[in-house]
A and B are shown apart, each in its own frame.
Chain A
Amino acid sequence: MITDFRQAFRTLRHSPGFSTLVVLVLAVGIGANTAIFSIVDGVLLKPLPFANADRLVAVDTTLKGEPDDTAYLDFVDWRAQTRTLERLSAYAGAVVTLTGPEGPALSAPMAVVTADLFPMLGVTPTLGRVFQAADDAKGAPRVVLLSDGLWSSRFHRAADVVGRTIQIDADPFQIVGVMPRGFQFPMDEEDPAQLWMPVYASRFATAWADQRGASFMKAIGLLKPGLRAEAAQAELAALETRIDKDSGRTGARSVIVRPFRDVLVKDYRLGLLVLLFAVGSVLLIACANVANLLLARGSVRRRELAVRAALGASRGRIVSQLLVESVVLAILGGIGGAFVSLWVVDLLVRFSPLQIPRLHAVHVDGAALAFAAAASLLTGVLSGIAPAFQLARARADDALRETERGGTARGTRTRQVLVVSEMALSLVLLTSAGLLARSLARLQQVSPGFRTERSVAMQLLLPQTRYETADEQRMFVRKLRDELQTLPGVSAVAMSTTLPLSGSDIGVGYVVEEHPLPAEQRTPASFFAVDSGYFSALGIPLVEGRGFTPRDDERAPGVIVINRALAAKFWPNDNPLGKRIAIGYNRTGPREIVGVVENVKQHQLSEPAPVQIYAPFDQTPWPFVTAIVRTTAAPESAFGSMRAALARVDPLLGAGDPKTLDSYVARSIATPRFTTFLVGAFAALALLLAGFGLFSVMAYSVVQRRREIGIRVALGAQPGDVRSLVLGQALRMGAMGLAIGLAGAFAATRVIASLLFDVTPHDPATFAGVSAALVAVMLAAAYLPARRAMRVDPIVSLRVE
């Protein structure tokens, strides 16, 4: 074997061009596979970085079968009564403003958590302690934990930070610990929490914690050893039904318990697996290409191998020597691939949508390198096996007698089969990419229902310490609006609680006065408290009635505007204006519908707009405020002046980074765009490799058929006849690849149906388009060899005899 390796290295060194080409093809294939494996492993497969990660479960309330947030009181009951879960914790995200001598007001994402969360996750702090049961009690001193990042940026990693008091939303909090670097919880937040505090330390959580109807938390539990999620689900669902009954709460609530990791990555699983399939196909195509090159080169080596056979080498010995050569090539390709993967992973992590959980921590690690090594060996064997057997089969006496023009029909067939397979596989990939691209194009054409150009939004949370009353909240909004209106380059200003497609949504219950639904049939509506400039600033068209005016203030009768979806639901053939709806806001009475506006996309461009209700901010003030400005110049130019305007109104209030409305829309399609881009890139690579495969087979075939072509020319074939001869051969292979590929694509694209928007998995236009693309590449790949064939000089080719 060692001799085989030595000889393999020597043989490969003697043909540096060939070896370099093969190593490069394999490095690209193995590198791309290793990179995508790293991501799939890091996001989908690796255990979560917590103790007993395989026993962690997400426990969610379901409302009409859909997972929803959980009321704190429900969570408390579950925790007290569960027999299937060893521990149960709850958490919720929010934004707070840090003020104090450490720096300017800072808006920071934070999470309220129950005290048992950190022990359950098995996370210990870098400094200080985590929360204790006593911290969870109502009225306990306010304590907070810092993230490593916040400790660095705001406290310069001061060793004595534990014990210090800081101002959060104007309340004093004592720092009790600093969490370790890299710790992130909740894990699926685009802006990870920088602070953690107990539920009753937060004013907003305190306000909601005692309301059975306020669902705002998520629960995570630790299964008792040996139990499955289904057992916990059965137990907690029964418990929830009992809670509903005991509390007199209506609705179709239940509980769903699923492995925590599965819930975290469920939205990305299919996309990542499609990517893995795509990149795996690229490697297979690369293998087929290498096999082709080995076969072509093998025919040059037939005499050498025949001599070996004549000298007594067994077929097994020759096969093993040829396999060692291909494995050596693949190992070199694997080493190159490892470097390629470092670069690709870095690129993917940098340009991927931020929402994919755990992606930021992905890197090429031992598992990925082991994968690369295994992929290299497999690649070596896969690409070498057919050529090795093919060449070893040649009989010594035949090969020794054969002239240079030799080459067997079987070798040619094997090469053609490989090329047909390459084209079929690349067509499957190309079809998937085509469908995803078409779907993305359709998605990009979907109007969000509001104007996004040259508009900027800044989200704020008014701390209850200083904005406790409705008047204080109203006053702040008016002042901020007035301040923003004075900014140069601002053409319109609007204020709202939340912004559609921003990921924030306020759901309110509502009852239509003349169509009261039984409680279990009620669903919440997306709610916006907006100022009088909102509809015009965002360009949301009025369908009927009127929008809000400054006169719709706290002293005026309660009014609302509904969207077209809500109007169609209750008044499909009637005019809703003048009808009345009661909304779940401070138990106030019914409000008159004064207008109907067009639907606006709420969560995703791909989803239909839900029912939406708008009320004047003055009549329904909230502590959540989103300030929106339309600019006359580039919207980014307003970022600084908006922050400055806020500082003039309230220097102690931090704000989230201003973002353009375009960026919200872009973010909502970032994941499909990312998947489409990658599948498209791999499909293009596959097509390129398949094209190269066809080119090499055709070029080799022309060399092999030089004599035949010479004879044909001598017998009167015109250049056009020769061209048709070569292109015809390519087209025959292409037609077979096309037929097999289309059948494969027909079956495979069903799998990605759930990733598609407004495009069927068997979209005829896409199938036709990618088929045309394949034929074009095929013709392009065969064109150069065909031209070469046309230049065959019969005298030269016949004299070679």
Chain B
Amino acid sequence: MLVSLRSVEKSYPHGVGRTYVLRRVNVDIKEGEFVSIMGPSGAGKSTLLHILGMHDSAWSGEYYFMDQPVHRLNPKQRSELHKKHIGFVFQSYHLLDNLTVYENLEIPLSYRNVSRKDRQSMVADILDRFQIVGKKDLYPNQLSGGQQQLVGVARAVIANPQVILADEPTGNLHTAQGKEIMELFRTLNESGTTIVQVTHSEVNASYGTRIIQLRDGWVVDD
């Protein structure tokens, strides 16, 4: 099992009580799945994704990632696990404005202590794979939204993660661009990468193999 959540809960203090964002979430995700998390705004979709991505550590319950008990790991160990196996794609792309496409792609590798030489070949490879070699010296503001998200996905996969977590990856894109990105996810999934996406779109969800429905923090359908 790639991911196993047991009774995961997240809440904030609110007045004398607590406001729950996630309630007793029990989810298992196998390797090679393409999962879509859906639900209305405020249902806890993004929160769940950030917990899976180990950006968020303020929750209770049990979380096993590749049989490792994430809930027992210290921040450094979690970060190592995340770096090694997880890629993240954001709705707003979150490319670094003052870095070129090439440098943006290089960043995750630099945090993984990949040597300069290996970095060069890995970036060249991904530029080639995503057919954006001609854009490598451009800055994010010189790219269209679709191109920026393409770079965002390329950045997520560059370090060969087992799983890609995508938070509304097509939310800021028009239909044609969105389709291109979803096709890309499908290809990645077919080549063995597990994909977990948060989406509002039924069309996007149809690319996947499984849908988890959330409402008010509860998993209401899986």
Contacts and interface: CB of A to CB of B under 8 A. Distances in A.
A and B: bona fide binding partners = yes
B112 interface: yes
B108 A715 contact: yes
B56 A715 contact: no
Contacts of B76: 718
B55 A714 contact: yes
B155 A801 contact: no
Contact of A711 (B53, B83, B91, B94): B94
Contact of B90 (A716, A721, A798): A798
A707 B94 contact: yes
A546 interface: no
A714 B56 contact: no
A708 interface: yes
Contact of B94 (A717, A721, A798): A798
B166 to A, nearest CB: 12
A732 B34 CA distance: 45
B200 interface: no
A794 interface: yes
Nearest to A801: B92
Contact of A716 (B46, B79, B98): B79
Given A794-B55, A795-B50, A795-B56, A716 B108 contact: yes
A714 B53 contact: yes
Contact of B111 (A409, A715, A798): A715
A578 to B, nearest CB: 84
Contacts of B111: 712, 715-718, 721
Given A795-B50, A795-B55, A798-B90, A716 B83 contact: yes
Interface in A745-801: 793-795, 798-799, 801
Interface residues of A, number: 19
B122 to A, nearest CB: 14
Nearest to B76: A718
B88 interface: yes
Contacts of A711: 90, 94-96
Interface in B148-192: 155
A695 to B, nearest CB: 22
Q: Which of A710, A712, A713 has the most CB of B within 10 A?
A: A712
B215 interface: no
Contacts of A707: 94
Contacts of B88: 714-715
B107 interface: yes
Contacts of A713: 55
Contacts of A801: 91-92
Interface string A309-338: 000000000000000000000000000000
Nearest to B75: A719
A718 B82 CA distance: 11
A707 B50 CA distance: 16
Contacts of B46: 799
A9 to B, nearest CB: 37
Nearest to B87: A715
A795 B92 CA distance: 13
Contacts of A708: 96-97
Interface string A697-741: 000000000011011111111100100000000000000000000
9 contacts: A708-B97, A714-B55, A714-B88, A714-B90, A715-B107, A715-B111, A794-B55, A795-B56, A799-B46
Given A711-B96, A714-B55, A793-B55, 19 more contacts: A708-B97, A710-B94, A711-B94, A712-B96, A712-B107, A712-B111, A713-B55, A715-B107, A715-B108, A715-B111, A716-B79, A716-B83, A716-B108, A717-B111, A718-B111, A795-B55, A795-B56, A798-B94, A801-B91
